[in-house]
Structure formats: structure tokens, C-alpha cells
């Protein structure tokens, strides 16, 4: 098949971008003619066999880059006779449109609701109202879901599918769920024997310590505050905080709660698989995530997971078998209850094995193959 993949950037920095790079390589390996239409190519990410089309995507400082790129990409597509046109949301066209970032309206509502300072919240609302960037994000998202602008929508979770149906009245049969995939060679149960002891020693944990892991970028939205509050009620538990966020602010919060001595603020790391391996339980009470990869990576690494209904990746969890799901991020009482249950070695071992087993059918290759299967069903569709 002659396949067009369309996104503003082609690079391994960023979730959607990294996904497109992986998908393009997979499709080439499967013998397809792959064209990438983009506004920017990271030379180090280029894949052999992929044909690149550079189009205009200027205007970010003016807030019009989405609009410029959408128009230029559509014009470029019309020059060729593609079997499948795959876009990655907010372009307003595509045979197959993958919604990796969820619905903007939902994200915005969750974000603004999380702001505690009323003056700052009002300021942000005005900023969004006046923002051209936000206007074009909403405009092209709505265009994506207009009948005739797509053949199939691919949502990264059931949660995202439900949001699309609710907000845009898209028929359920038009939307396919394909959860993000995990690199199972990198994230697996065998890592515990390889890395756990060294990482624990590095951060002054013993072999017998009960260690929780929080990993993510953006500590506020991911719910770190609630994990720290739970830790206050867990005398013997310790916590590793990995990722990028306002470390000083949350160190102060940990000190205020008298748990700082049991916390390790590690910051961003390159080899995150080693930190999954060193932990006993993954705690991630996110206030909004379309499908958090860290949840799936943790499960593949054999960690029982505690997350929320507002994380689309919760759709992969079998409740009370390989993880627990909170109705809301700030249900600290329930979080504490679940963490205490998982302190039991036998229970935790069972959850661990089942989490790893569940992820064996959620590899990146499985995900890409599902996309290819969708293409084959839709082959020959034209806008």
C-alpha cells in the first residue's frame, strides 16, 4: 500500500511524534511505500525507506502554525494517489485519524478545574479565550470528527472514545480503540533481578523496604500531591519520585507532611526501566491522561498499578487482579487502603505476575499491526 502519515514534527521527542517514527519504520519493514508529510524532520530520527515531504508549518509565535500546516499538508496530499491517509489529529482530514492526545475540551476543563488560585484561573481562562493557538486547536479538532472528513477514528483508550462520542456525537462504530504499545524487550519482569539491587543501594533503600514509585512529567496533573498525602498515613512505605516537575515545591509539601525523609526526588532519568525494576508498586493518581504510557510500562515491568479512571490506560487494568483504579485522584483514603493491601508479599507477587502477563499482548508491534489491519480494511477509501 501507498501510505501517507501526517504530523507537524517527525522526531523521537514527544509521545505522538515517537509513535509516528515507530509506525513508519514498521510499515516500511512490512513492505509498504511510506510517505511522511511533516513540517520538520529530526535528521537523527530519519528511517531508511521512508519518503519525506516537507511543507510549511511556520507561525508558532503567532499561534497559527496548526492552521498553516493543516492547509499545506492537505495541498501536498492532493498531489498524490495514496491508498491510506493517516493523520494524528487536529488536521481536519484523514482516512484514519489517531487521537493520541485526547479531546482538547476535556483536557482544558480538567486543567482549569485543578487550578486553586481563583485569580490565576480567571487569567488562564482569558488567555485561552484570546489565544489563536487554542482557537485553531478547537477548530481542527472539531473538523476531525465531522462526517466525511474521516473513515475511521482510532482512540488510544475507551475513555477517549467515550469523550469523542459525548462531545462530537460520533457514532461508536466509527471509533476503534487501540491502546498504546510497550517495548517489551525494555520493560519486563526480568529487569528486577538485573537492576533492583543497584538502584535501591544508590538511593539508600534496603532490599526489604516497601518502595512506591511515582513517575511522570508534570507533578501537579499527575497527582503527586495525593501520593505524598497517602505516604503520611503509611508509616513503613518509602517513595521514589522520578520525572520532570517542580521538585522544590513538592519537596516543601513533603516536608510539611513530615514525609521528606522517606522520599527520594530523583528527577528525569534516561533508563526508567531500572526504576520500575527497583519498586514494589506504581502509584499514579493522574487527574487526566488519555493513555499514560508509564502505566503500561509499569505493568509490563511487573508492578501492580494504582491509578485513576481519568487515566485512559486504566482500561487495560483488571481491577483487583493486577491493579486498582481510583474514581478520583484525591481519594487518598482508598489509595492508602490499596497500598496497604499490596504490602502483602503474596498478594503483590500475584498482582505482579498478572500485570506482566496482561501486557504480553500490548507490545508496540501488536499496536502497529492493529493499525495496519485497520488500513487493510479501509484500503481504497478516498476523501
pLDDT at 155 over 70: yes
Both 329 and 275 in one domain: the answer is yes
Where does the pLDDT of residue 382 fall: very low under 50, low under 70, confident under 90, or very high at 90 and above?
A: very low
Both 16 and 162 in one domain: the answer is yes
Q: What is the largest CA-CA distance in the chain?
A: 65
Chain segment 99-117, per-residue pLDDT in tens: 999 999 999 999 998 888 9
pLDDT at 366 over 70: yes
Grid cell, residue 283, equals 502509584
Both 50 and 67 in one domain: the answer is yes
Structural domain that includes position 241: 191-361
pLDDT at 153 over 50: yes
Residue 213 forms part of a structural domain: yes
Q: Number of structural domains, the chain? A: 2
Distance CA 101, CA 90 (A): 10
Q: Residue 383: what pLDDT?
A: 37
Where does the pLDDT of residue 246 fall: very low under 50, low under 70, confident under 90, or very high at 90 and above?
A: very high
Both 126 and 54 in one domain: the answer is yes
Q: Residue 378: what pLDDT?
A: 75
Mean pLDDT across 370-375: 93
Residue 112 forms part of a structural domain: yes
Chain segment 291-303, per-residue pLDDT in tens: 999 999 999 999 9
- Asked if 301 contacts 189 with a C-beta cutoff of 8 angstroms, the reply is yes
Chain segment 259-281, per-residue pLDDT in tens: 999 999 999 999 999 999 999 99
Both 156 and 217 in one domain: the answer is no
Both 251 and 220 in one domain: the answer is yes
Q: Residue 114: what pLDDT?
A: 86
Residue 176 forms part of a structural domain: yes
Residue 204 forms part of a structural domain: yes
| CATH number assigned to the domain comprising residue 288 | 3.40.50.2000
Q: Residue 379: what pLDDT?
A: 67
Amino acid at each position: 500500500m501507498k501510505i501517507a502519515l501526517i504530523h507537524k514534527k517527525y522526531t523521537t521527542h514527544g509521545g505522538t511524534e515517537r509513535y509516528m517514527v515507530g509506525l513508519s519504520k514498521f510499515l516500511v519493514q512490512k513492505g509498504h511505500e511510506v510517505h511522511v508529510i511533516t513540517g520538520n524532520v529530526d535528521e537523527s530520527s530519519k528511517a531508511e525507506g521512508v519518503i519525506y515531504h516537507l511543507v510549511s508549518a511556520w507561525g508558532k509565535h503567532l499561534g497559527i502554525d496548526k492552521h498553516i500546516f493543516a492547509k499545506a499538508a492537505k495541498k501536498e496530499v492532493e498531489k498524490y494517489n495514496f491508498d491510506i491517509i493517516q493523520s494524528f489529529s487536529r488536521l481536519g482530514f484523514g482516512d484514519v485519524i489517531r487521537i493520541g492526545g485526547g479531546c482538547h475540551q476535556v483536557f482544558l476543563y480538567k486543567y482549569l478545574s485543578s487550578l486553586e488560585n481563583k485569580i490565576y484561573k480567571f487569567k488562564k481562562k482569558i488567555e485561552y479565550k484570546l489565544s489563536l493557538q487554542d482557537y485553531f486547536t478547537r477548530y481542527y479538532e472539531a473538523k476531525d470528527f465531522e462526517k466525511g472528513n474521516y473513515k475511521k477514528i482510532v482512540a488510544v483508550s475507551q475513555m477517549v472514545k467515550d469523550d469523542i462520542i459525548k462531545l462530537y456525537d460520533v457514532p461508536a462504530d466509527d471509533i476503534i480503540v487501540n491502546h498504546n504499545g510497550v517495548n517489551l524487550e525494555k520493560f519486563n519482569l526480568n529487569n528486577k533481578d538485573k537492576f533492583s539491587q543497584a538502584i535501591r543501594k544508590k538511593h539508600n533503600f534496603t532490599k526489604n523496604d516497601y518502595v512506591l514509585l511515582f513517575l511522570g512529567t508534570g507533578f501537579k496533573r499527575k497527582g503527586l500531591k495525593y501520593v505524598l498525602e497517602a505516604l503520611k498515613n503509611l508509616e513503613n512505605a518509602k517513595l521514589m519520585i522520578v520525572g520532570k516537575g517542580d521538585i522544590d515545591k513538592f519537596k516543601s509539601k513533603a516536608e510539611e507532611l513530615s514525609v521528606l525523609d522517606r522520599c527520594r526526588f530523583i528527577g528525569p532519568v534516561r533508563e526508567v526501566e531500572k526504576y520500575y525494576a527497583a519498586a514494589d508498586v506504581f502509584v499514579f493518581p493522574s487527574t487526566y491522561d488519555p493513555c499514560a504510557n508509564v502505566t503500561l510500562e509499569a505493568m509490563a515491568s511487573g508492578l501492580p498499578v494504582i491509578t485513576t479512571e481519568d487515566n485512559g490506560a486504566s482500561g487495560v487494568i483488571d481491577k483487583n487482579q493486577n491493579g486498582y483504579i481510583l474514581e478520583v485522584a484525591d481519594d487518598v483514603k482508598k489509595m492508602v487502603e490499596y497500598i496497604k493491601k499490596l504490602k502483602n508479599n503474596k498478594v503483590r507477587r500475584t498482582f505482579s505476575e498478572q500485570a506482566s502477563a496482561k501486557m504480553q499482548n500490548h507490545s508496540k508491534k501488536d499496536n502497529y499491526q492493529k493499525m495496519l489491519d485497520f488500513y487493510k480494511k479501509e484500503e481504497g477509501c478516498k476523501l
